[in-house]
Amino acid sequence: MLVFTPLSALLSAPFLAVGGVVLAMGSDVPLSGVLLVAIPVAAAVIGVITRLTTPPSRRTQVRTDAVNRVLREQITGVRVIRAFGRDAHERRRFAAANGDLMAVALRLGRLQAFSGGSALLVINLAAISVAALGGPRVVGGDLRLGALVAFLGYLTQILMAVMVAMAVFDMVPRARASADRITEVLTTEPGVPEPVIGAPLPAGPVGLAVRAVTFGYPGAEKATAREVDLVALPGQTTAIVGSTGAGKTTLVNLVARLIDVDRGLVSINGVDVREFGRRALADLVGVVPQRSYLFSGTIASNLRYGSPDATDDELWHALEVAQARDFVAAMPAGLDTPVAQGGSTVSGGQRQRLAIARALVVPDLGSTCSTTRSRRWTRRPRPLYALRLPTRSGTRPGWSSHNGCPRSDRRTGSSCSTRAVSRPSARTRNCRGSARPTGKSCTPRGNDERVPPHRVPVVRRDGPGPEPRARGRGDGGGRAGADDRRPRVARGGD
Ligand SMILES: Nc1ncnc2c1ncn2[C@@H]1O[C@H](COP(=O)(O)OP(=O)(O)OP(=O)(O)O)[C@@H](O)[C@H]1O
Ligand SMILES: [Mg+2]
């Protein structure tokens, strides 16, 4: 509709204008002199007005965006606003943004009203001129009344056609700007391109290797991750530990291919993650985002998000592994308990545990195992990578790895808020979470000298900057604790 109406007006305008001029001249040549003046004047008026309205119409768009942004922030952050008692401030902020929009919208509205009025003024002035010139001739019998009326009709049609054409032409630059933007979006290559033919999923336990990975966000001065090495072996839990902004989430995003490395290699069982199709990689790597997000629906629909065919038994099992079974079972509707958008109807901790459970519900890819559960939980040993946020001052950044359970923070007694488990069976076996230690040590050790050197990814922090940097092999960086600022790898044995 938006395209068709101006286009049809533009296409019909020349025919209407030329046809009108021919017919007008055919009915009376002397009166046609009015057209010589009226047409350029109408074109000039419309040209000037459209030139005046273009900047405010662009500004209107920008300010509408600003109002929407403020409004969205206020709706999203309504609890923070209330908690800090900043209602009045936010009201003023909205009023300012809205006032800006109103000012430019009023200016635009006035110009548009003036534009319509001036177009009619030109047409009516031309009609008055024709009547003034033709009237005496009709009285004198020099011109028939019917010819005068017809001429007035042609005149109106010609001028309307000219004005419509001018208005449509004025839309062309703006339409081109919009079309360029749309083309830009449509032709943007995805940052994480899909392989033409995805690599087959590895069978059996999976291990992760990060080799000399460097990544920087577009426009950032420095790389966030530089020459990072890391190995996460099957059956072990690997925790990535670092101060805030050190690049932990970035590293996990590289593993899950939410972003791609600039240099280096992230591989699963030796296969570059870029060779897996997006869906296949999602089957291998489950992500619990730092800010857990649940969709509106039910607990079951959220848990089945990545695996729509999962049975209720499998959901309960995932809930148990994520230590969410008890509170879900206590809800009157159990798995069918409604969840509001964003998961706002459950507590933050519950939301996090449900997000962990969701990552543990793995699509069934078929197996020879006899029971569904064993098929899911032994056949698809998917690693789950997520982040703990050890942001206390004094926490040393680094990698640590231990066997099968999320690291418990012995100093604070708190458990990891998010975790990395290499496979659900390992968690089930060794670790009902840090709240229920199994007697097996979950504390990361210093660099385990039993681990062969090539297995020991070591990162260090040079200076106060946030970048984790890798140490080369055999550079002596493996002794944890030698330097408090040096992150280390600790690895639990099997
Ligand atoms: N989308 C982004 N664009 C630009 N820079 C970013 C982006 N995301 C993160 N960064 C920067 O990259 C660095 C690492 O961020 P990252 O989120 O990986 O840190 P983190 O270790 O997970 O921190 P935290 O413990 O606070 O979660 C930070 O300096 C951050 O400012
Ligand atoms: Mg993070």
Task: Tell me the domains of the chain and their CATH numbers.
Answer: 4-187 (1.20.1560.10), 208-470 (3.40.50.300)
- Residue whose structure tokens are 């793995």: 362
The pLDDT of residue 284 is above 50: yes
Which atom of ligand 1 is nearest to 217's Cα?
A: 4
Q: Return d(Cα 358, Cα 349) in angstroms, integer.
A: 14
Ion ligand 2 — residues with CB < 5 Å: 249, 290
> How far, in Å, from the CA of 291 to the mean position of ligand 1?
13
Please tell me the number of the ligand nearest to residue 245's CA.
1
Q: Which of 163, 155, 159, 157 is nearest to 27 (CA)?
A: 155
Cα 279 to middle of ligand 1, angstroms: 25
Question: Ligand 2 center to residue 234 CA distance, Å?
Answer: 23
User: pLDDT digit string (tens) for 1-20?
Assistant: 566 776 777 788 778 888 88
Q: How much is the pLDDT for 86?
A: 94
Tokens matching residue 489:
């790898």
Which residue among 228, 243, 249 has the greatest number of ligand 1 atoms within 8 angstroms of its CB, and so is best to mutate?
249
State whether residue 240 is helix, strand or coil. strand
Nearest to 132 by CA among 262, 16, 31, 10: 31
- CA-to-CA separations, 105 to 96, 127, 178, in angstroms, rounded: 14, 33, 20
**Whether the predicted pLDDT of 317 surpasses 80:** yes
Percent of the chain whose predicted confidence (pLDDT) is above 90: 25
Phi–psi pair at 420, nearest 5 degrees: -120, 120
Q: If you average pLDDT over residues 102-126, what whole number do you get? A: 86
- Give the distance (Å) from ligand 2 centre to CA of residue 316: 28
**406, 440 in Cβ contact below 8 A?**
no
Closest by Cα among 463, 453, 462 to 489: 453
56's tokens = 């405010």
Question: Which of residues 426 and 268 earns the better pLDDT score?
Answer: 268
Count of positions (residues) in the chain:
494
**Ligand 1 atom nearest to CA at 243:** 25
CA distance 337 to 345: 10
The per-residue pLDDT for range 24-70, each reduced to its tens digit, is 888 788 888 888 888 888 888 877 877 888 888 888 888 988 999 99
- Identity of residue 50: T
d(CA 163, CA 442): 79
Choose the residue to mutate in 213, 215, 217 for probing ligand 1, maximizing ligand atoms within 8 Å of C-beta: 217
Q: For ligand 1, what atom is nearest to the CA of residue 250? A: 18
Mean pLDDT of 150-178: 78
| Nearest CA, atom 26, ligand 1 | 244
Tens of pLDDT, residues 338-375: 988 777 788 889 999 999 999 988 765 433 222 223 33
Residue 278 has pLDDT above 80, yes or no: yes
In this structure, the strands spanning 271-272 and 398-402 are unpaired
- Judged against a pLDDT cut of 80, whether residue 139 lies above it is answered with yes
Task: Give which of 108, 119, 113 is closest to 46, Cα–Cα.
Answer: 119
Cα 427 to chain centroid, rounded? 32
Ligand nearest to the CA of 242: 1
If phi > 0 it is left, if psi is from -120 to 50 it is alpha, else beta; for residue 270 that is left
Cα–Cα distance list, 176 to 14, 108, 171, 184 (Å): 22, 21, 8, 12
Atom of ligand 1 nearest to the CA of 391: 25
The answer to whether the CB of 422 falls within 8 A of the CB of 235 is yes
At which residue do the structure tokens 């260090």 appear? Answer: 460
Ligand 1 atom at minimum distance from 389 CA? 25
- Ligand 1 mean position, distance from CA 247 (Å): 6
Which among 340, 358, 215 has a CA at the least distance from the CA of 282? 358
**What's the gap in Å between 259 CA and the centre of ligand 1?**
13
Q: What SS3 class is residue 440?
A: coil
Work out the pLDDT band at 326, boundaries 50, 70, 90.
very high
Distance 225 CA to ligand 2 centre (A): 13
Contact predicate 236/491, CB 8 Å: yes
Q: Is there a contact between 444 and 481 (Cβ–Cβ < 8 Å)? A: no
pLDDT band per the 50, 70, 90 thresholds, residue 285 = confident
- Residue 487 DSSP one-character state: -
Q: Which of 305-309, 376-380, 457-461, 479-483 has the highest mean pLDDT?
A: 305-309
Which residues approach ligand 1 with their CB closer than 6 A?
A: 217, 220, 224, 242, 244-250, 290, 387, 389, 391, 466
C-beta neighbour count of 411 within 10 angstroms: 9
Query: What spacing in Å lies between the alpha carbon of 417 and ligand 2's midpoint?
Result: 12
d(CA 132, CA 481): 102
Positive or negative: CA dihedral 322, 305, 293, 190: positive
Ligand 1: distance of its center to the CA of 286 in Å?
Answer: 20
Q: What pLDDT does residue 161 have?
A: 83
pLDDT band of residue 170 (cuts 50, 70, 90) is low
Q: Which ligand gives the minimal distance to the CA of 221?
A: 1
List, in order, residues 6 or more apart from 467 with CB less than 8 Å away.
222, 223, 224, 225, 226, 246, 247, 461
Across 114-118, 429-433, 484-488, least confident range: 429-433
Q: Is 247 left (phi over 0), alpha (psi -120 to 50) or beta?
A: left
Give the ligand with the smallest distance to the CA of 251.
1
Q: pLDDT value at position 335?
A: 93
390 pLDDT exceeds 60? no
Q: Is the dihedral of CA 344, 349, 353, 359 positive or negative?
A: positive
Residues pairing with 230 in the sheet: 210
Residue closest by Cα to atom 10 of ligand 1:
217
Pocket test for ligand 1, best of 215, 224, 243 (most atoms within 8 A of CB): 224
pLDDT tens per residue, range 407-424: 333 333 333 333 333 333
Cβ partners under 8 Å of residue 391, min gap 6: 243, 244
- Token readout for 103 is 């000012």
Q: What is the mean pLDDT of residues 133-153?
A: 88
Reply yes or no on whether the pLDDT at 301 is more than 50: yes
C-alpha 381 to ligand 1 mean position (Å): 29
* Strand bridging mode 459-460 / 384-386: unpaired
